[in-house]
Amino acid sequence: MSSIDLQMRPVLVPHARLKMDAVSGDPVLLFPEGMFVLNSTAHEIVRHCDGRKTVGELLQLLGEEFDVGKEVLQTDLFENLEQLRRRNLIALSL
């Protein structure tokens, strides 16, 4: 069970920057300890982690962009947010 709530607001931490890798063209998160390569789903999630949108709003927005069921999308969203939070690349607040 996830500790993420639909009312939480994800935001990139100050030391992380979303960029496109100059060599591969892949979306990446850069941080002082290295680089984290993002797949297309994670890239869309991170693009919207601005601290203003709630997880619920992000779920709705991604539902408009991707042709998948809401349950599958919510599972993917929560897993991505948990992984990014564990790596200290995003913060979640109410």
Weakly modelled stretches of the chain, pLDDT under 70: 1
* Domain-wise residue ranges, the chain: 9-93
For position 33, what pLDDT does the model report? 83
Tokens read off for 29:
């998160």
For position 1, what pLDDT does the model report? 52
- Single out the residue of 92, 13, 12 nearest to residue 56, CA to CA: 92
For position 15, what pLDDT does the model report? 96
- Name the CATH superfamily housing domain 9-93: Coenzyme PQQ synthesis protein D (PqqD) (1.10.10.1150)
Q: How many CA atoms lie within 13 A of 37 on its CB side?
A: 7
